[in-house]
Amino acid sequence: MTRTRNTLRWTALALTIGALAVAQASLRATDRQMVQAPRFEVDPVWPKPMPNHWILGSVIGVGIDSRDHVFIIHRGDSTLNQRTEAGLNAKPPIGECCASAPPILEFDPDGNLVKGWGGPGDGYIWPGSNHGVAVDDKDNVWIGGNGPTDSHILKFSHEGKFLQQIGTPGQGSASNDSTHFGRVAKITFDPKAGEAYVADGYGNKRVAVLDMNSGKLKRFWGAYGNKPDDARLPPYDPSAPLVQQFRNPVHCAEPTSDGLVYVCDRPNDRIQVFQKDGKFVKEVRIAPATRGDGSVWDIAFSKDAAQKYLYLADGKNERVYVMDRQSLEILTSFGDGGRQPGQFFAVHSIATDSKGNIYTTETYEGKRLQKFRYKGIGQVKRGNQGVVWPTGK
């Protein structure tokens, strides 16, 4: 009887140990599926509805000013269908709704529309296809353009007063030219150095660096720090050797506080990192099987002093990647294709405010601005989280 009881005890102990081992293995597997990273939730009621029956066309730029006001730029008449979307724009109007909002719109942190302005005016040439909006440290507003002969940059005051036209309008692409640009995608800033970084862009294949005050071109470079070459490249092939030049468009060039520049080589599905003098540092490929529009559309950084995290908008795969900026490891991502809050249709541009919130815009038929509230650092799913819907927590 004693031997039987001992056998049962040992059997029970072995089963307990086995169960604990299984549980620990399961916990380790769960841990591997989770990661510490910034957490976000979509704000489904931001921004608030606009007045005057205004609607947005393709939204192709977003920037944040010193008060966390959000500036966007969109293409109204050229991307809206007057028959089905913008009857008020038709001549004569065919209905009460709707009309294109002004090209540049300013929203306050609560989502209220503050002001709209922009378009052709005295003393400057408005781009044939405006593209990208950026707000510098003095709250001036800069835009580029990616129309066939958009070869210049415009600078306005915060309230929309024209300040400066940089580059000669109406020129063709020439990546080694010092007098004009080639269909600029986006402008960003290094205020301490007094420099503007230009993703140049849809025609040219370079990063160009300007003096923020004079607009004078100081330096430029192509992929891997090479001299830019405008020779036509073969179609992107994920299995082919990496090409030694950028493809069009070079879609962003984002300087950091520690002396680096992160460049969106969009159709090549890669981020290239440089020193600010153009010396190549490293690169990473993102979803390299992505063809067509490519995966690397726009970059923003987290607002901690070290800019620890990089946020990457991927308008082809309809998601935002959350990455470790130094290692370029993808920690997690969020988003999915669709029309509902937290989903995307061609997520094009991305920016962060002082509180760490993310703002995204959508082009093509997306035609939308969205806000994703920063919820702090915590455990999130590796891989794609899908739609980051509010949890109420």
222-268 residue pLDDT tens: 999 999 999 999 999 999 999 999 999 999 999 999 999 999 999 99
Confidence (pLDDT) at 231: 94
Strand order in 347-352's β-sheet?
Answer: 34-42, 368-381, 358-362, 347-352
> Rounded CA gap, 240 and 242, in Å?
6
**Of 12 and 133, more confident:** 133
pLDDT in tens, 66-110: 999 999 999 988 899 888 899 998 889 999 999 999 999 999 999
Whether 299 and 271 have beta carbons less than 8 Å apart is answered as yes
Please give the pLDDT value at position 11: 60
pLDDT at 8 over 80: no
Across 279-297, average pLDDT: 97
Residues 15-42 have pLDDT tens digits of: 555 544 544 544 454 457 999 999 999 9
pLDDT at 3 over 70: no
CB 223 within 8 A of CB 209: no
Residue type, 31: D
DSSP 91-133: SS-SSS--EEPPSEEEE-TTS-EEEEE-SSBTTB---SSEEEE
The contacts of residue 307 (CB under 8 Å, 6+ apart) are 256, 257, 258, 301, 325
Q: What is the pTM of this model?
A: 0.91
